Amino acid sequence: MPNIHPKTTPIYQTSVFTFDDLNALELYFEEPGQNYMYTRYGNPNTDELAEEINKLEGGVGGVVTSSGMSAILAAVLAVCKAGDHVLCAEEIYGGSAALLSQELTRIGIEVSYVPSADTYTLEQYTKPNTRLMLAETMSNPLLQVLDIARLALETKKLSIKLVIDNTFATPVLTKPLELGADMVMHSVTKYLSGHSDVTAGVVVCQQQEDLQRVQAVMRTYGLNLSPFEGWLAARGLKTLRLRMKQHCSNALAVAQFLEQHPKVEQVWYPGLEGHPQHGLAKEQGHGMFGGMLSFRIADDTESVNRFMQGLASIPFAPSLAGVSTSISYPLGTSHRSLSPEQQQKLGITTGVIRLSVGIEEPEELIEELEQALAKV
């Protein structure tokens, strides 16, 4: 067979790898990472993706999983067992809240939500069995920016692991591990892959002990990513830096347009000077503010429908971070599982629309939004 040196890693679309003999099998267990046995345990495509994301985040290693949700599950179960207590930021992705409140409580893990005003003073919420705090670099959907370094000082003081969901920011803007977090996770489905054709997650760890536990949870619970999706995501990751620059530039232009529009009542975007954490966002994001924003029109379902129907090419899609712009409706999708009281407390009202700004020409996006707002 000829000596082949592909520039791009081939797709290892196999569920199992073979051994020559018992000696080769023993070598697999004696020298972990040198060979492959079963794709649930590891595969060249998923390992490549984990290694590349780990380089970006600056950890000791990463573990890729089948989705962002399974990444959160792996991070929590790596640290917590039945009888332990978890803290979670009050304003967080609805799916994360559902996982903690509806599922992990069923297996004996206690959960408490920390109001935004108390994010950096956790002592009143901690218990002797508190093990972990989960929060987002930028909250979903109202883009509140977390001072990660400040929170990390607080969690270290209380001997709690800090897990940061960095999906909205990406390591192009912010590297939570450098700011003191213990673990960082992403829905790779979003910006890291970037093309709306992959479902995947990742956990990157600061300590080797945590990495080994996350790996064990992934393997044992079967949270592994498929080889083909690993290959697709690794391909998408190669353009992350270029894409994020355009996402950020476009989002700022769109936010500035929406802020002055008479039919828009409020805009949440960290790049606007009126945003309460604008200074922090500028410093922590190295002058970039991300591609996500939310805005509110009249709190009326029919007004929202008319706006959506007035969009010529921007789709209503309950996800985010693809190269094409899309809108989402937090009240009916990402935060649907919250009670009406929780939704109102967080400010997620009928007129709130989340906008994932793509990499198109900004003038075209603004023109389309202008036309849709004219229908309201």
- Selecting among 175, 190, 243, 354, the annotated active-site residue is 190
Position 4 scores a pLDDT of 81
* Structure letter (DSSP) for residue 67: S
Number of helices (H), then strands (E), belonging to the chain: the values are: 13, 11
* Residue 63: predicted pLDDT: 98
Please say if the pLDDT value at position 124 is more than 70. yes
Pick the catalytic residue from 165, 182, 191, 213: 165
Tell me which residue has tokens 């002990």: 209
Put simply, whether the predicted model's pTM sits higher than 0.85 gets the answer: yes
pLDDT at 32: 75
**45 has pLDDT over 90:** yes
User: Using CA atoms, how far apart are residues 331 and 270, in angstroms rounded to an integer?
Assistant: 21
Active site residue: 93, 191, 269, 329, which one? 93
Cβ pair 186, 53 in contact under 8 A: yes
How would DSSP label each residue in 316-372? B-S----SS-EEE-TTTTTTTTS-HHHHHHHT--TTEEEEE--SS-HHHHHHHHHHH
Based on the residue annotation, tell me whether 165 is a catalytic residue of this protein. Answer: yes
Residue 279 pLDDT greater than 60, yes or no: yes
pLDDT > 90? residue 340 = no
Phi-psi region of 108 (alpha: psi -120 to 50; beta: other; left: phi over 0): left
> Average pLDDT of the chain?
95
Which is more confident, 15 or 347? 15
Per-residue pLDDT, averaged over 60-84, amounts to: 98
Mean pLDDT of 74-103: 95
Ranking 26-30, 149-153, 205-209 by mean pLDDT, the lowest is 26-30
Q: Where in the chain are the domains?
A: 42-237, 240-373
Q: Is 309 left (phi over 0), alpha (psi -120 to 50) or beta?
A: alpha
Pair of tokens at residue 190: 């979003």
Average pLDDT over residues 82-99: 94
Given 28, 40, 41, 336, the catalytic residue:
40
Residue 235 known to be catalytic = no
Q: Among 216, 97, 243, 217, which residue's Cα sits nearest to residue 165? A: 97
- Would you state the pLDDT for residue 318? 85
The reply to whether CATH 3.40.640.10 applies to domain 42-237 is yes
| Average pLDDT value for residue range 351-376 | 97
- Do 240-373 and 42-237 have the same topology in CATH? no
Whether the predicted pLDDT of 1 surpasses 60: no
Q: What would the two tokens of residue 308 be? A: 């959506």
Q: Are 291 and 321 in contact (CB under 8 A)?
A: yes
Give the SS3 label for residue 142: coil
Give percent helix, percent strand, percent coil of the chain, each to the nearest 5: 40, 15, 45
| Window from 188-202, 236-250, 346-360 with minimum mean pLDDT | 346-360
What fold does the segment set 240-373 form as a domain?
Aspartate Aminotransferase, domain 1 (3.90.1150)
pLDDT band at 179 (very low <50, low <70, confident <90, very high): very high
Mean pLDDT within 91-118: 95
Residue 168 has pLDDT above 60, yes or no: yes
pLDDT of residue 33: 74
pLDDT > 90: percent of the chain: 87
Average pLDDT rounded to a whole number, residues 325-352: 80
